[in-house]
A and B are shown apart, each in its own frame.
Chain A
Amino acid sequence: MLKLDGVTKVYRIGAFGGQTMTAVDDAGFEIKPGEVVSLIGESGSGKSTIGKMVLRLLPPTSGTISIDGRDVRGIGRRDYYRKVQGVFQDPFSSYNPVFKADRVFAMIREVYFRGVPDKEWTAKIEAALDAVRLSPAAVLNKFPHQLSGGQLQRLLIARALLLDIEYLVADEIISMLDASTRIDVLNLLADLKQRGLGVLFITHDLALGNYISERTVVLHKGRIVEYGPTDAVFEQPEHAYTKKLLASVPQLHTKWEDAS
Protein backbone atom coordinates (compact mmCIF):
# COMPACT_ATOMS: atom_id res chain seq x y z
CA MET A 1 0.00 0.00 0.00
CA LEU A 2 1.24 3.44 -0.97
CA LYS A 3 0.25 5.93 1.66
CA LEU A 4 0.46 9.68 1.94
CA ASP A 5 0.21 11.12 5.40
CA GLY A 6 0.02 14.85 6.13
CA VAL A 7 2.00 15.62 2.99
CA THR A 8 2.61 19.33 2.58
CA LYS A 9 4.61 21.24 0.02
CA VAL A 10 5.55 24.85 0.64
CA TYR A 11 7.45 26.79 -1.99
CA ARG A 12 9.65 29.70 -1.10
CA ILE A 13 9.20 32.44 -3.63
CA GLY A 14 10.37 36.00 -4.13
CA ALA A 15 13.80 37.41 -3.43
CA PHE A 16 15.73 35.30 -0.90
CA GLY A 17 12.66 33.11 -0.45
CA GLY A 18 10.97 35.78 1.63
CA GLN A 19 7.45 34.67 0.79
CA THR A 20 5.91 31.25 0.83
CA MET A 21 3.25 29.54 -1.24
CA THR A 22 1.55 26.39 -0.05
CA ALA A 23 1.00 24.14 -3.05
CA VAL A 24 -0.18 21.10 -1.14
CA ASP A 25 -1.60 21.28 2.36
CA ASP A 26 -1.82 18.23 4.60
CA ALA A 27 -2.74 15.69 1.94
CA GLY A 28 -3.43 12.15 3.12
CA PHE A 29 -4.80 9.20 1.14
CA GLU A 30 -3.74 5.74 0.10
CA ILE A 31 -3.53 3.56 -2.99
CA LYS A 32 -3.97 -0.17 -2.62
CA PRO A 33 -2.54 -2.68 -5.07
CA GLY A 34 -5.00 -3.41 -7.87
CA GLU A 35 -6.97 -0.20 -7.65
CA VAL A 36 -7.10 3.09 -9.48
CA VAL A 37 -7.37 6.22 -7.38
CA SER A 38 -8.16 9.38 -9.30
CA LEU A 39 -6.83 12.65 -8.10
CA ILE A 40 -9.07 15.33 -9.56
CA GLY A 41 -8.33 19.02 -9.50
CA GLU A 42 -8.15 22.12 -11.63
CA SER A 43 -4.95 23.86 -12.65
CA GLY A 44 -3.04 25.09 -9.63
CA SER A 45 -4.79 22.65 -7.32
CA GLY A 46 -1.50 20.93 -6.50
CA LYS A 47 -2.40 17.62 -8.15
CA SER A 48 0.78 17.43 -10.21
CA THR A 49 2.85 18.45 -7.21
CA ILE A 50 1.47 15.45 -5.35
CA GLY A 51 2.35 13.24 -8.32
CA LYS A 52 5.88 14.58 -8.37
CA MET A 53 6.28 14.04 -4.63
CA VAL A 54 5.11 10.46 -4.92
CA LEU A 55 7.66 10.02 -7.71
CA ARG A 56 10.29 11.68 -5.50
CA LEU A 57 11.01 14.32 -8.07
CA LEU A 58 10.16 16.86 -5.39
CA PRO A 59 10.71 16.47 -1.66
CA PRO A 60 7.69 17.16 0.58
CA THR A 61 8.15 20.02 3.04
CA SER A 62 6.55 17.90 5.73
CA GLY A 63 4.57 14.70 6.06
CA THR A 64 5.50 11.22 4.96
CA ILE A 65 4.97 9.02 1.95
CA SER A 66 5.32 5.36 2.72
CA ILE A 67 5.15 2.10 0.85
CA ASP A 68 3.98 -0.95 2.80
CA GLY A 69 4.63 0.96 5.99
CA ARG A 70 8.17 1.95 5.07
CA ASP A 71 9.06 5.62 4.70
CA VAL A 72 10.20 6.10 1.12
CA ARG A 73 13.05 8.34 2.19
CA GLY A 74 14.67 5.23 3.63
CA ILE A 75 14.60 3.45 0.26
CA GLY A 76 17.34 3.99 -2.31
CA ARG A 77 16.14 5.78 -5.43
CA ARG A 78 16.96 2.95 -7.79
CA ASP A 79 15.12 0.44 -5.66
CA TYR A 80 12.19 2.80 -5.31
CA TYR A 81 11.89 3.40 -9.06
CA ARG A 82 11.87 -0.32 -9.62
CA LYS A 83 8.52 -0.33 -7.79
CA VAL A 84 7.05 3.09 -8.52
CA GLN A 85 6.98 4.64 -11.96
CA GLY A 86 5.34 7.52 -13.75
CA VAL A 87 3.95 8.62 -17.11
CA PHE A 88 3.45 12.30 -17.84
CA GLN A 89 1.04 14.50 -19.70
CA ASP A 90 2.86 15.53 -22.83
CA PRO A 91 3.99 12.51 -24.86
CA PHE A 92 6.25 14.66 -27.04
CA SER A 93 7.99 16.34 -24.12
CA SER A 94 8.57 12.95 -22.48
CA TYR A 95 10.96 11.91 -25.21
CA ASN A 96 14.29 13.51 -25.90
CA PRO A 97 13.67 14.82 -29.41
CA VAL A 98 17.21 14.16 -30.63
CA PHE A 99 17.08 10.43 -29.94
CA LYS A 100 14.94 7.54 -31.05
CA ALA A 101 11.89 6.79 -28.96
CA ASP A 102 12.95 3.32 -27.84
CA ARG A 103 15.89 4.87 -26.03
CA VAL A 104 13.59 4.99 -22.99
CA PHE A 105 13.94 1.20 -22.90
CA ALA A 106 17.71 1.33 -23.29
CA MET A 107 17.95 3.67 -20.31
CA ILE A 108 16.13 1.15 -18.13
CA ARG A 109 18.40 -1.60 -19.35
CA GLU A 110 21.53 0.37 -18.64
CA VAL A 111 20.56 0.93 -15.04
CA TYR A 112 18.58 -2.15 -14.08
CA PHE A 113 19.35 -4.95 -16.51
CA ARG A 114 23.01 -4.59 -17.36
CA GLY A 115 23.80 -8.28 -17.39
CA VAL A 116 20.76 -9.42 -19.31
CA PRO A 117 21.68 -10.92 -22.71
CA ASP A 118 20.25 -9.34 -25.86
CA LYS A 119 17.93 -12.18 -26.66
CA GLU A 120 16.31 -12.19 -23.26
CA TRP A 121 16.01 -8.39 -23.33
CA THR A 122 14.30 -8.44 -26.73
CA ALA A 123 11.83 -10.98 -25.44
CA LYS A 124 11.17 -8.80 -22.41
CA ILE A 125 10.50 -5.76 -24.58
CA GLU A 126 8.21 -7.73 -26.83
CA ALA A 127 6.22 -8.92 -23.84
CA ALA A 128 5.90 -5.37 -22.53
CA LEU A 129 4.84 -4.05 -25.93
CA ASP A 130 2.34 -6.84 -26.23
CA ALA A 131 0.86 -5.84 -22.87
CA VAL A 132 0.23 -2.33 -24.19
CA ARG A 133 -0.93 -3.69 -27.56
CA LEU A 134 1.80 -2.24 -29.71
CA SER A 135 3.55 -4.15 -32.45
CA PRO A 136 7.35 -3.95 -32.17
CA ALA A 137 7.76 -3.24 -35.89
CA ALA A 138 5.51 -0.21 -35.65
CA VAL A 139 7.28 1.55 -32.81
CA LEU A 140 10.88 0.36 -32.43
CA ASN A 141 13.71 2.22 -34.10
CA LYS A 142 11.62 5.33 -34.77
CA PHE A 143 11.98 8.93 -33.76
CA PRO A 144 9.32 10.37 -31.43
CA HIS A 145 7.89 12.64 -34.12
CA GLN A 146 7.28 9.61 -36.33
CA LEU A 147 4.89 8.13 -33.76
CA SER A 148 1.45 9.25 -32.66
CA GLY A 149 0.73 10.60 -29.18
CA GLY A 150 -1.16 7.44 -28.29
CA GLN A 151 1.73 5.21 -29.35
CA LEU A 152 4.19 7.30 -27.36
CA GLN A 153 2.12 7.08 -24.19
CA ARG A 154 1.72 3.32 -24.60
CA LEU A 155 5.45 3.04 -25.09
CA LEU A 156 5.97 4.81 -21.78
CA ILE A 157 3.60 2.45 -20.02
CA ALA A 158 5.52 -0.46 -21.59
CA ARG A 159 8.71 1.09 -20.27
CA ALA A 160 7.28 1.05 -16.76
CA LEU A 161 6.22 -2.57 -17.19
CA LEU A 162 9.82 -3.63 -17.84
CA LEU A 163 10.41 -3.06 -14.16
CA ASP A 164 8.54 -4.93 -11.47
CA ILE A 165 6.34 -1.94 -10.79
CA GLU A 166 3.70 -1.98 -8.10
CA TYR A 167 2.46 1.58 -8.46
CA LEU A 168 2.09 3.88 -11.44
CA VAL A 169 1.59 7.63 -11.30
CA ALA A 170 -0.30 8.67 -14.44
CA ASP A 171 -0.30 12.45 -14.61
CA GLU A 172 -2.90 13.63 -17.16
CA ILE A 173 -1.57 10.99 -19.51
CA ILE A 174 -4.40 11.15 -21.99
CA SER A 175 -5.35 14.79 -21.92
CA MET A 176 -3.25 15.56 -24.97
CA LEU A 177 -4.42 12.59 -26.97
CA ASP A 178 -7.17 12.60 -29.55
CA ALA A 179 -10.61 11.46 -28.48
CA SER A 180 -10.63 8.41 -30.72
CA THR A 181 -7.41 6.99 -29.27
CA ARG A 182 -7.45 8.22 -25.67
CA ILE A 183 -10.08 5.82 -24.44
CA ASP A 184 -7.94 2.84 -25.44
CA VAL A 185 -5.01 4.13 -23.41
CA LEU A 186 -7.39 4.63 -20.53
CA ASN A 187 -8.69 1.08 -20.87
CA LEU A 188 -5.12 -0.13 -20.86
CA LEU A 189 -4.54 1.58 -17.55
CA ALA A 190 -7.63 -0.06 -16.16
CA ASP A 191 -6.39 -3.44 -17.38
CA LEU A 192 -3.17 -3.00 -15.45
CA LYS A 193 -5.24 -3.30 -12.29
CA GLN A 194 -5.63 -6.96 -13.06
CA ARG A 195 -1.88 -7.30 -12.81
CA GLY A 196 -2.22 -6.04 -9.26
CA LEU A 197 -0.96 -2.60 -10.09
CA GLY A 198 -2.01 0.42 -8.06
CA VAL A 199 -2.56 3.51 -10.19
CA LEU A 200 -2.67 7.14 -9.16
CA PHE A 201 -4.65 8.71 -11.99
CA ILE A 202 -4.21 12.46 -11.98
CA THR A 203 -6.73 14.35 -14.10
CA HIS A 204 -8.77 17.50 -14.47
CA ASP A 205 -11.46 15.61 -16.37
CA LEU A 206 -14.18 14.32 -14.09
CA ALA A 207 -15.68 12.00 -16.67
CA LEU A 208 -12.36 10.19 -17.07
CA GLY A 209 -11.84 9.89 -13.32
CA ASN A 210 -15.34 8.58 -12.96
CA TYR A 211 -14.87 6.04 -15.75
CA ILE A 212 -11.74 4.41 -14.48
CA SER A 213 -11.29 4.72 -10.75
CA GLU A 214 -12.35 2.88 -7.63
CA ARG A 215 -11.77 5.82 -5.38
CA THR A 216 -11.63 9.54 -5.98
CA VAL A 217 -9.77 12.37 -4.29
CA VAL A 218 -10.91 15.92 -5.11
CA LEU A 219 -8.28 18.56 -4.60
CA HIS A 220 -8.92 22.29 -4.37
CA LYS A 221 -6.21 24.87 -3.79
CA GLY A 222 -3.85 22.29 -2.34
CA ARG A 223 -6.38 20.79 0.07
CA ILE A 224 -8.32 17.57 -0.23
CA VAL A 225 -11.97 18.57 -0.15
CA GLU A 226 -13.52 15.22 -0.86
CA TYR A 227 -12.22 11.68 -0.67
CA GLY A 228 -14.12 8.43 -0.99
CA PRO A 229 -15.42 5.69 -3.25
CA THR A 230 -15.98 7.06 -6.76
CA ASP A 231 -19.73 6.33 -6.74
CA ALA A 232 -20.23 8.27 -3.56
CA VAL A 233 -18.15 11.25 -4.66
CA PHE A 234 -19.95 11.55 -7.97
CA GLU A 235 -23.48 10.71 -6.85
CA GLN A 236 -23.62 12.35 -3.44
CA PRO A 237 -20.92 15.00 -3.42
CA GLU A 238 -20.76 16.72 -0.07
CA HIS A 239 -18.43 19.60 -0.64
CA ALA A 240 -19.72 22.70 -2.44
CA TYR A 241 -16.66 22.72 -4.68
CA THR A 242 -17.27 19.18 -5.92
CA LYS A 243 -20.87 20.08 -6.64
CA LYS A 244 -19.83 23.13 -8.63
CA LEU A 245 -17.29 21.11 -10.61
CA LEU A 246 -19.87 18.49 -11.46
CA ALA A 247 -22.31 21.15 -12.60
CA SER A 248 -19.73 22.69 -14.93
CA VAL A 249 -18.71 19.54 -16.76
CA PRO A 250 -20.01 19.64 -20.30
CA GLN A 251 -22.10 16.53 -20.80
CA LEU A 252 -22.54 15.13 -24.24
CA HIS A 253 -26.25 14.41 -24.06
CA THR A 254 -27.35 17.07 -21.57
CA LYS A 255 -27.15 20.78 -22.08
CA TRP A 256 -26.25 23.01 -19.18
CA GLU A 257 -29.56 24.87 -19.49
CA ASP A 258 -31.54 21.65 -19.19
CA ALA A 259 -29.58 20.46 -16.21
CA SER A 260 -30.11 23.54 -14.08
Chain B
Amino acid sequence: MKTEALYFAIRNTKLLVGAGIILVLLGIGVIGPFFIDKPPTEYVGMQMQPPGGEFWLGTNTFGQDLWAQFVHGLRTTFLVGALGGGIAAVIGMVVGFLAGYKGGWIDEILNMLTNIVLVLPTLAVLFILNAYIGVRSAGMQALFIGLTQWPWAARSIRAQTFSLRGRDFVDLARLSGVGSGRIIMREIAPNMSSYLLLTFILLFGGSILIASSLDFIGLGPTDAVSLGLMLQQAHQWSAMHLGLWWWFVPPGAGITLIVGALYVANVGLDEVFNPKLREL
Protein backbone atom coordinates (compact mmCIF):
# COMPACT_ATOMS: atom_id res chain seq x y z
CA MET B 1 0.00 0.00 0.00
CA LYS B 2 2.66 2.48 1.05
CA THR B 3 5.15 1.35 -1.58
CA GLU B 4 2.39 1.63 -4.13
CA ALA B 5 1.77 5.26 -3.15
CA LEU B 6 5.48 5.94 -3.39
CA TYR B 7 5.62 4.30 -6.79
CA PHE B 8 3.02 6.70 -8.11
CA ALA B 9 4.38 9.66 -6.17
CA ILE B 10 7.80 9.63 -7.81
CA ARG B 11 6.16 9.29 -11.21
CA ASN B 12 3.68 12.11 -10.78
CA THR B 13 4.90 15.24 -12.56
CA LYS B 14 2.34 17.50 -10.92
CA LEU B 15 3.41 16.46 -7.47
CA LEU B 16 7.12 16.70 -8.28
CA VAL B 17 6.86 20.15 -9.87
CA GLY B 18 4.59 21.51 -7.12
CA ALA B 19 6.67 20.11 -4.29
CA GLY B 20 9.87 21.27 -5.99
CA ILE B 21 8.72 24.88 -6.20
CA ILE B 22 7.53 24.84 -2.59
CA LEU B 23 10.81 23.38 -1.38
CA VAL B 24 12.90 25.96 -3.22
CA LEU B 25 10.84 28.87 -1.89
CA LEU B 26 10.77 27.36 1.58
CA GLY B 27 14.53 26.98 1.44
CA ILE B 28 14.94 30.66 0.54
CA GLY B 29 12.60 31.69 3.34
CA VAL B 30 14.25 29.50 5.96
CA ILE B 31 17.92 29.84 5.09
CA GLY B 32 17.93 33.21 3.31
CA PRO B 33 17.57 35.47 6.36
CA PHE B 34 20.78 34.04 7.88
CA PHE B 35 22.76 35.52 5.00
CA ILE B 36 21.26 38.98 5.39
CA ASP B 37 22.81 40.76 8.33
CA LYS B 38 20.62 43.86 8.39
CA PRO B 39 16.95 43.89 9.37
CA PRO B 40 14.67 44.09 6.32
CA THR B 41 13.24 47.47 7.26
CA GLU B 42 16.60 49.21 7.53
CA TYR B 43 17.41 52.01 5.09
CA VAL B 44 20.48 50.67 3.41
CA GLY B 45 21.27 52.94 0.53
CA MET B 46 20.14 54.57 -2.61
CA GLN B 47 16.45 54.94 -3.23
CA MET B 48 14.56 53.39 -6.13
CA GLN B 49 17.51 51.32 -7.39
CA PRO B 50 16.58 48.76 -10.03
CA PRO B 51 17.67 45.16 -9.48
CA GLY B 52 21.39 44.76 -9.79
CA GLY B 53 24.55 43.29 -8.34
CA GLU B 54 24.43 44.98 -4.95
CA PHE B 55 20.69 44.85 -4.33
CA TRP B 56 19.40 41.78 -6.15
CA LEU B 57 15.83 42.99 -6.23
CA GLY B 58 16.64 46.68 -6.07
CA THR B 59 15.44 49.16 -3.43
CA ASN B 60 12.18 50.97 -2.84
CA THR B 61 11.41 54.70 -2.46
CA PHE B 62 12.88 54.64 1.07
CA GLY B 63 16.07 52.88 0.14
CA GLN B 64 15.13 49.57 1.78
CA ASP B 65 16.61 46.36 0.34
CA LEU B 66 13.75 44.53 -1.39
CA TRP B 67 15.60 41.20 -1.53
CA ALA B 68 15.92 41.31 2.25
CA GLN B 69 12.23 42.11 2.50
CA PHE B 70 11.34 39.33 0.07
CA VAL B 71 13.35 36.73 1.93
CA HIS B 72 11.96 37.72 5.33
CA GLY B 73 8.51 38.05 3.78
CA LEU B 74 8.66 34.50 2.45
CA ARG B 75 9.53 33.30 5.93
CA THR B 76 6.60 35.15 7.50
CA THR B 77 4.25 33.99 4.77
CA PHE B 78 5.21 30.35 5.24
CA LEU B 79 4.96 30.75 8.99
CA VAL B 80 1.47 32.24 8.82
CA GLY B 81 0.42 29.57 6.33
CA ALA B 82 1.73 26.68 8.41
CA LEU B 83 0.46 28.07 11.71
CA GLY B 84 -2.92 29.20 10.40
CA GLY B 85 -3.39 26.04 8.36
CA GLY B 86 -2.17 23.94 11.28
CA ILE B 87 -4.53 25.52 13.81
CA ALA B 88 -7.46 25.20 11.42
CA ALA B 89 -6.54 21.58 10.65
CA VAL B 90 -6.29 20.66 14.34
CA ILE B 91 -9.60 22.28 15.25
CA GLY B 92 -11.23 20.83 12.14
CA MET B 93 -10.00 17.35 13.03
CA VAL B 94 -11.04 17.48 16.67
CA VAL B 95 -14.51 18.78 15.82
CA GLY B 96 -14.92 16.54 12.75
CA PHE B 97 -13.75 13.35 14.47
CA LEU B 98 -15.81 13.94 17.59
CA ALA B 99 -18.98 14.90 15.75
CA GLY B 100 -18.65 12.08 13.23
CA TYR B 101 -17.74 9.36 15.70
CA LYS B 102 -19.90 10.26 18.67
CA GLY B 103 -23.00 11.37 16.78
CA GLY B 104 -26.14 12.22 18.73
CA TRP B 105 -26.28 15.45 20.70
CA ILE B 106 -22.51 16.01 20.58
CA ASP B 107 -22.78 16.00 16.80
CA GLU B 108 -25.68 18.43 16.88
CA ILE B 109 -23.90 20.91 19.14
CA LEU B 110 -20.67 20.75 17.15
CA ASN B 111 -22.60 21.08 13.94
CA MET B 112 -24.28 24.20 15.21
CA LEU B 113 -20.92 25.67 16.23
CA THR B 114 -19.47 24.82 12.81
CA ASN B 115 -22.32 26.52 11.04
CA ILE B 116 -22.07 29.62 13.21
CA VAL B 117 -18.36 30.07 12.48
CA LEU B 118 -19.01 29.31 8.84
CA VAL B 119 -21.43 32.22 8.44
CA LEU B 120 -19.42 34.60 10.65
CA PRO B 121 -18.48 37.77 8.70
CA THR B 122 -14.74 37.27 9.13
CA LEU B 123 -13.67 40.67 7.90
CA ALA B 124 -16.06 42.58 10.14
CA VAL B 125 -14.87 40.62 13.15
CA LEU B 126 -11.29 41.41 12.25
CA PHE B 127 -12.01 45.13 12.02
CA ILE B 128 -13.57 45.07 15.44
CA LEU B 129 -10.68 43.06 16.90
CA ASN B 130 -8.28 45.45 15.24
CA ALA B 131 -9.81 48.35 17.07
CA TYR B 132 -9.07 46.66 20.40
CA ILE B 133 -5.68 45.12 19.74
CA GLY B 134 -3.10 47.67 18.77
CA VAL B 135 0.05 45.82 17.83
CA ARG B 136 -0.58 42.85 15.61
CA SER B 137 1.96 40.09 15.20
CA ALA B 138 2.17 37.47 12.48
CA GLY B 139 1.27 34.92 15.15
CA MET B 140 -1.94 36.77 15.99
CA GLN B 141 -2.82 36.86 12.34
CA ALA B 142 -2.23 33.12 11.99
CA LEU B 143 -4.31 32.46 15.09
CA PHE B 144 -7.17 34.50 13.74
CA ILE B 145 -7.04 32.75 10.37
CA GLY B 146 -6.85 29.36 12.06
CA LEU B 147 -9.83 30.13 14.26
CA THR B 148 -12.03 31.11 11.33
CA GLN B 149 -11.01 28.67 8.60
CA TRP B 150 -11.64 25.28 10.22
CA PRO B 151 -15.37 24.75 9.54
CA TRP B 152 -15.25 23.28 6.06
CA ALA B 153 -12.45 20.94 7.11
CA ALA B 154 -14.51 19.87 10.11
CA ARG B 155 -17.49 19.18 7.89
CA SER B 156 -15.68 16.96 5.45
CA ILE B 157 -13.79 15.11 8.18
CA ARG B 158 -17.06 14.56 9.99
CA ALA B 159 -18.63 13.05 6.88
CA GLN B 160 -15.69 10.69 6.34
CA THR B 161 -15.56 9.67 9.98
CA PHE B 162 -19.26 9.02 9.90
CA SER B 163 -18.91 6.55 7.06
CA LEU B 164 -15.85 4.84 8.56
CA ARG B 165 -17.60 4.52 11.91
CA GLY B 166 -20.06 2.09 10.38
CA ARG B 167 -17.32 -0.27 9.20
CA ASP B 168 -17.01 -3.57 10.98
CA PHE B 169 -13.43 -3.06 12.11
CA VAL B 170 -14.55 -0.17 14.29
CA ASP B 171 -17.14 -2.41 15.94
CA LEU B 172 -14.48 -5.05 16.35
CA ALA B 173 -12.19 -2.58 18.10
CA ARG B 174 -15.05 -1.74 20.45
CA LEU B 175 -15.51 -5.45 21.09
CA SER B 176 -11.83 -5.55 22.05
CA GLY B 177 -12.56 -3.07 24.83
CA VAL B 178 -10.76 -0.18 23.12
CA GLY B 179 -11.96 3.30 24.11
CA SER B 180 -13.37 5.97 21.79
CA GLY B 181 -10.28 8.21 21.70
CA ARG B 182 -8.02 5.37 20.70
CA ILE B 183 -10.48 4.13 18.12
CA ILE B 184 -10.50 7.56 16.48
CA MET B 185 -6.74 7.96 16.59
CA ARG B 186 -5.73 4.44 15.73
CA GLU B 187 -8.53 2.95 13.68
CA ILE B 188 -10.23 5.81 11.89
CA ALA B 189 -7.53 8.46 11.40
CA PRO B 190 -4.99 6.15 9.70
CA ASN B 191 -7.62 5.33 7.10
CA MET B 192 -7.95 8.99 6.26
CA SER B 193 -4.30 9.95 6.51
CA SER B 194 -4.01 10.87 2.85
CA TYR B 195 -7.18 12.88 3.07
CA LEU B 196 -6.00 14.68 6.20
CA LEU B 197 -2.75 15.59 4.46
CA LEU B 198 -4.66 17.01 1.51
CA THR B 199 -6.89 18.99 3.85
CA PHE B 200 -3.87 20.47 5.59
CA ILE B 201 -2.30 21.48 2.28
CA LEU B 202 -5.47 23.20 1.16
CA LEU B 203 -5.78 25.01 4.51
CA PHE B 204 -2.10 25.99 4.26
CA GLY B 205 -2.58 27.56 0.84
CA GLY B 206 -5.84 29.15 1.89
CA SER B 207 -4.22 30.74 4.96
CA ILE B 208 -1.46 32.28 2.84
CA LEU B 209 -4.01 33.78 0.50
CA ILE B 210 -6.14 35.15 3.32
CA ALA B 211 -3.09 36.53 5.12
CA SER B 212 -1.99 38.30 1.94
CA SER B 213 -5.43 39.82 1.46
CA LEU B 214 -5.50 40.96 5.08
CA ASP B 215 -2.04 42.48 4.70
CA PHE B 216 -3.09 44.23 1.56
CA ILE B 217 -6.07 45.97 3.11
CA GLY B 218 -3.92 47.10 6.01
CA LEU B 219 -4.76 44.45 8.59
CA GLY B 220 -1.41 42.77 8.42
CA PRO B 221 1.18 42.35 11.19
CA THR B 222 2.72 45.59 12.42
CA ASP B 223 5.95 44.06 13.63
CA ALA B 224 7.05 41.98 10.63
CA VAL B 225 7.51 41.94 6.89
CA SER B 226 5.40 39.67 4.74
CA LEU B 227 4.83 39.31 1.04
CA GLY B 228 1.36 40.77 1.47
CA LEU B 229 2.74 43.78 3.32
CA MET B 230 5.27 44.39 0.58
CA LEU B 231 2.43 44.48 -1.91
CA GLN B 232 0.47 46.83 0.30
CA GLN B 233 3.36 49.26 0.67
CA ALA B 234 4.11 49.12 -3.05
CA HIS B 235 0.51 50.01 -3.65
CA GLN B 236 0.44 52.73 -1.00
CA TRP B 237 3.56 54.45 -2.34
CA SER B 238 2.45 54.27 -5.97
CA ALA B 239 5.16 51.87 -7.10
CA MET B 240 3.13 51.16 -10.22
CA HIS B 241 3.04 54.82 -11.29
CA LEU B 242 6.69 55.30 -10.53
CA GLY B 243 7.57 52.27 -12.64
CA LEU B 244 9.13 50.41 -9.69
CA TRP B 245 8.01 46.99 -10.98
CA TRP B 246 10.66 45.27 -8.85
CA TRP B 247 8.76 46.37 -5.77
CA PHE B 248 5.49 44.56 -6.45
CA VAL B 249 6.30 41.82 -8.98
CA PRO B 250 8.46 39.59 -6.71
CA PRO B 251 6.03 39.45 -3.76
CA GLY B 252 3.05 39.02 -6.11
CA ALA B 253 4.82 36.26 -8.00
CA GLY B 254 5.93 34.69 -4.70
CA ILE B 255 2.38 34.41 -3.37
CA THR B 256 1.06 33.14 -6.68
CA LEU B 257 3.86 30.59 -6.94
CA ILE B 258 3.42 29.26 -3.42
CA VAL B 259 -0.34 28.93 -3.61
CA GLY B 260 -0.29 27.69 -7.19
CA ALA B 261 2.39 25.11 -6.45
CA LEU B 262 0.47 23.95 -3.38
CA TYR B 263 -2.64 23.37 -5.43
CA VAL B 264 -0.75 21.61 -8.21
CA ALA B 265 0.98 19.39 -5.64
CA ASN B 266 -2.42 18.77 -4.07
CA VAL B 267 -3.91 17.61 -7.36
CA GLY B 268 -0.85 15.40 -7.84
CA LEU B 269 -1.18 13.91 -4.35
CA ASP B 270 -4.84 13.29 -4.99
CA GLU B 271 -3.89 11.25 -8.04
CA VAL B 272 -1.32 9.34 -6.03
CA PHE B 273 -3.77 8.40 -3.31
CA ASN B 274 -6.87 7.91 -5.41
CA PRO B 275 -6.44 4.95 -7.77
CA LYS B 276 -9.42 6.08 -9.85
CA LEU B 277 -7.59 9.25 -10.90
CA ARG B 278 -4.38 7.49 -11.85
CA GLU B 279 -3.45 7.39 -15.46
CA LEU B 280 -2.18 3.95 -16.27
Contacts and interface: CB of A to CB of B under 8 A. Distances in A.
Interface string A171-192: 0000000000000000000000
B190 A81 contact: no
A210 B173 CA distance: 31
A57 B133 CA distance: 50
Interface string B170-190: 011111111000000001001
Interface in A47-84: 52, 55, 57, 77-78, 81
Contacts of A99: 190
Contact of B169 (A77, A96, A108, A112): A96
A81 B177 contact: yes
Nearest to B193: A98
B177 A93 contact: no
Nearest to A85: B175
Contacts of A78: 177
A112 B175 CA distance: 12
Interface centre among B175, B177, B191 (most CB of A within 10 A): B175
Interface string A87-119: 011100111111100001001101110000000
For the side of the interface on B, what is the size category? 10 to 19
Nearest to B174: A57
B135 interface: no
Given A88-B168, A89-B168, A143-B1, A97 B175 contact: no
Contacts of B177: 77-78, 81, 111-112
For the side of the interface on A, what is the size category? 20 to 34
A107 B190 contact: no
Nearest to A162: B176
A86 interface: yes
A159 B171 CA distance: 14
A52 B166 CA distance: 12
A52 B51 CA distance: 72
- The dominant DSSP class at the B interface is helix
Nearest to A104: B172
Interface in B140-196: 167-169, 171-178, 187, 190-191, 193
Contact of A94 (B169, B174, B178, B190): B169
B176 A108 contact: yes
A55 B173 CA distance: 12
Contacts of A156: 172
A233 to B, nearest CB: 29
A88 B172 contact: yes
A72 to B, nearest CB: 14
Interface string A127-163: 0000000000000000100000000000010000000
B113 to A, nearest CB: 18
A131 B177 CA distance: 23
B169 A55 contact: no
A52 B168 CA distance: 11
A172 B4 CA distance: 33
B168 A93 contact: yes
A94 B169 CA distance: 4
Contacts of B187: 96
Given A97-B191, A99-B190, A88 B171 contact: yes
A57 B178 CA distance: 13
A86 B175 contact: yes
B173 A107 contact: yes
Interface of B: 1, 167-169, 171-178, 187, 190-191, 193
18 contacts: A52-B171, A55-B175, A57-B171, A57-B174, A57-B175, A77-B177, A78-B177, A81-B177, A85-B175, A88-B171, A88-B172, A93-B167, A94-B168, A95-B169, A96-B187, A98-B190, A99-B190, A107-B178
Given A55-B171, A85-B175, A86-B172, 14 more contacts: A55-B175, A78-B177, A86-B171, A86-B175, A88-B172, A89-B168, A93-B168, A95-B169, A99-B190, A104-B176, A108-B176, A111-B177, A112-B177, A156-B172
